[in-house]
């Protein structure tokens, strides 16, 4: 039975290094999520404004970010912006910037969708009951919006984590890069290690995302 | 902006765009087929198979395409399963997309209330007629937004193919940046070509969505 990488995985600190690599990916996505959720809520609320100019600008930003592959955005910031403006960005900073830009766009779209899915009669009924504007939002609109929004934003977190795998391409040392290093280092001793190591990376990502998406599914069902 | 450079390397991008679209569309078509099969298995609750489909969907939805591709392209040859880069790209896209498509179709099918099927039965329709005239038309119109979103998502995901050395748009841009240090021009072309590919599909999606919004029953 040829060695398929299990031994390499258990050798030395290899497993811990892989998990550490995943930690970097998780850290980047966590920072981006924490920043982009409030920003996205703000933008999403602005999107429901009737002002045509803010609407047009926001739409342009949103559509551009959402239609471009995240990899293109990473390249634009990491190679393009550094060249154009002459500043110096580390791969990690560049990826955090991209994920904040992207996360904000996605989040604002979710917020806009959730807000516009509240039927108009909810506003009218609360007005008929004599609630003030603040009360209407506080007691009627926001609680209903949140129920729709929370499962969707939890899903956004898993999408963010999955997308962080791309930062390998701009030279951030994350789990896939660590995997490559481990495979390179053990090329002579166990040439077939790629199978086991990449399988381990696959499962690590699964273990990171699965519980989160299960939570989202559970909440979605419960709050229907 | 150096237009001479842009004109000179335009053909290179055209070739890369054709490759991107070809692999992307092949992947999407196979993903649709996989998705239909999986959705049908889950809808009819086929024993055993439905558990396998469930595991497949969770595995494929909760891992990134790049990791799946690395496993297929670099990992699987070690156990004797060798695939060419472009075949590997199509397989990876189909593996990822199948589960997303299955979820889109399933949510459409599940949104149809049982009373629809019961009414069809009481009108004397057989199972085929019920599917053909009552369930599917409604389920399809509910699935369309998610379906179009998935198509765009999958075409966007093709950008990771450069990691398994397929000469797609991303690869070309990276190559040109590395060779000539013409970052602005290379990235400009990259953005333009992705817009050419993705914008029409995105617009088509929103038109379809608007037209089909009226098809729902009681909505």
Which tens digits make up the pLDDT trace of B119-136? 999 999 998 999 899 888
CB A36 within 8 A of CB A110: no
CB B102 within 8 A of CB B33: no
- Chain A positions in Cβ-Cβ contact with residue B187 (cut-off 8 Å): 72, 75-76, 79-80
Does B218 reside within a domain? no
Q: Does domain A6-222 have CATH number 3.40.190.150?
A: no
Does B131 reside within a domain? yes
Q: Spell out the domain ranges in chain A.
A: 6-222
CA B129 to chain centre: 30
A173-185: pLDDT as tens digits? 889 999 999 888 8
Query: Could you write out the DSSP letters of every residue in A38-93?
Result: HHHHHHHHHHTS--HHHHHHHHHHHHHHHHS-HHHHHHIIIIIIHHHH-----HHH
Q: To the nearest whole number, what is the mean pLDDT of chain B?
A: 89
- Measured distance CA(B218)–CA(A121) in Å, rounded: 18
- Interface contact flag, A67 B202, Cβ < 8 Å: yes
The whole-number pLDDT of residue A213 equals 92
Number of domains making up chain B: 1
Q: Considering CB atoms only, which of B64, B78, B191 is closest to A205?
A: B64
Confidence of residue B188 (pLDDT cuts 50, 70, 90): very high
Confidence of residue B218 (pLDDT cuts 50, 70, 90): very low
Nearest CA-CA distance, residue A59 and chain B, Å: 14
Whole-complex ipTM = 0.87
- Measured distance CA(B56)–CA(B62) in Å, rounded: 10
Q: Considering CB atoms only, which of A67, A162, A199 is closest to B75?
A: A199
3-state secondary structure of A25: helix
Which residue, among A8, A60, A165, would best test binding to B if mutated, counting the most B CBs under 10 Å from its CB?
A165
- Interface contact flag, B191 A72, Cβ < 8 Å: yes
A200: tokens are 């381990």
- Chain A positions in Cβ-Cβ contact with residue B59 (cut-off 8 Å): 206
Q: Considering CB atoms only, which of A71, A165, A198 is closest to B74?
A: A198
Which residue has tokens 């917020």? A111
Does B219 reside within a domain? no
- Measured distance CA(B202)–CA(B208) in Å, rounded: 10
CB A8 within 8 A of CB A200: no
A107: tokens are 């989040």
Segment of B19-23, B81-85, B207-211 carrying the highest mean pLDDT: B19-23
CA A96 to chain centre: 10
- Measured distance CA(A214)–CA(A222) in Å, rounded: 12
3-state secondary structure of B210: helix
pTM of the model: 0.88
CB A179 within 8 A of CB A114: no
- Chain B positions in Cβ-Cβ contact with residue A163 (cut-off 8 Å): 64
- Measured distance CA(A110)–CA(B78) in Å, rounded: 43
- Measured distance CA(B186)–CA(B202) in Å, rounded: 24
The whole-number pLDDT of residue A59 equals 87
B122: tokens are 């009481």
Which residue has tokens 């899915």? A117
Q: Considering CB atoms only, which of B75, B157, B187 is closest to A76?
A: B187
A186-219: pLDDT as tens digits? 888 888 888 888 999 999 999 999 999 999 989 9
- Measured distance CA(A207)–CA(B75) in Å, rounded: 19
What domain range is B171 assigned to?
3-212
CB A161 within 8 A of CB A103: no
**pLDDT tens string for chain A (224 positions)?**
466 777 778 787 888 888 998 999 999 999 999 999 999 999 888 887 778 888 888 888 988 998 999 999 999 999 988 888 888 889 899 999 999 999 999 999 888 888 888 888 888 999 899 998 889 888 988 888 888 888 889 989 999 999 999 998 888 888 999 999 988 888 888 888 888 889 999 999 999 999 999 999 899 888 87
Q: In this structure, what are the phi and psi dihedrals at residue B20, rounded to the nearest 5 degrees?
A: -60, -50
CA A152 to chain centre: 12
Using a CB–CB cutoff of 8 Å, tell me whether A192 touches chain B. yes
Does B78 reside within a domain? yes
What value does the CA radius of gyration of chain B take, rounded to a whole number of Å? Answer: 21
């Amino acid at each position: 039975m040829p060695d398929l990488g299990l031994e390499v995985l258990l050798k030395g600190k290899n497993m811990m290094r892989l998990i550490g690599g995943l930690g970097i990916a998780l850290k980047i996505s966590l920072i981006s999520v924490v920043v982009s959720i409030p920003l996205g809520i703000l933008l999403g609320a602005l999107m429901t404004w009737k002002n045509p100019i803010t609407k047009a600008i926001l739409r342009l930003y949103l559509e551009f970010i959402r239609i471009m592959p995240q990899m293109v955005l990473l390249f634009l910031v990491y190679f393009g912006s550094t060249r154009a403006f002459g500043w110096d960005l580390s791969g990690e900073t560049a990826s955090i910037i991209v994920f904040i830009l992207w996360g904000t766009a996605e989040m604002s779209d979710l917020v806009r969708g959730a807000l516009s899915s509240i039927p108009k009669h909810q506003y009218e009924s609360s007005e008929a009951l004599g609630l003030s504007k603040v009360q209407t939002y506080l007691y009627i609109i926001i609680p209903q919006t949140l129920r729709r929004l929370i499962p969707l934003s939890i899903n956004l977190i898993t999408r963010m984590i999955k997308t962080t795998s791309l930062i390998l391409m701009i030279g951030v040392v994350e789990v896939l890069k660590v995997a490559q290093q481990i495979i390179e280092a053990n090329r002579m001793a166990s040439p077939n290690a790629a199978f086991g190591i990449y399988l381990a990376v696959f499962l690590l990502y699964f273990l990171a995302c699965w519980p989160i998406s299960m939570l989202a599914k559970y909440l979605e069902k419960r709050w229907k | 902006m150096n237009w001479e450079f842009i004109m000179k390397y335009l053909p290179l991008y055209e070739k890369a765009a054709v490759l991107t679209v070809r692999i992307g569309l092949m992947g999407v078509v196979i993903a649709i087929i996989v998705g239909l099969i999986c959705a049908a298995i889950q809808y009819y609750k086929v024993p055993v198979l439905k558990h396998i489909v469930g595991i497949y969907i969770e595995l494929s939805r909760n891992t990134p395409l790049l990791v799946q591709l690395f496993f297929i392209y670099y990992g699987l040859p070690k156990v004797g399963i060798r695939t060419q880069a472009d075949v590997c790209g199509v397989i990876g896209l189909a593996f990822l997309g199948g589960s997303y498509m299955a979820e889109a179709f399933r949510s459409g099918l599940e949104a149809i209330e049982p009373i629809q099927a019961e009414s069809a039965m009481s009108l004397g329709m057989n199972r085929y007629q019920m599917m053909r005239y009552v369930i599917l038309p409604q389920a399809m119109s509910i699935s369309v937004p998610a379906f179009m979103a998935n198509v765009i998502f999958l075409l966007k995901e093709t950008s990771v193919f450069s990691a398994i050395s397929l000469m797609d748009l991303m690869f070309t841009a990276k190559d040109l940046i590395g060779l000539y240090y013409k970052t602005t021009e290379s990235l400009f072309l990259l953005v333009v070509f992705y817009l050419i590919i993705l914008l029409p599909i995105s617009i088509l999606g929103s038109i379809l969505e608007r037209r089909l919004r009226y098809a729902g029953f009681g909505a």
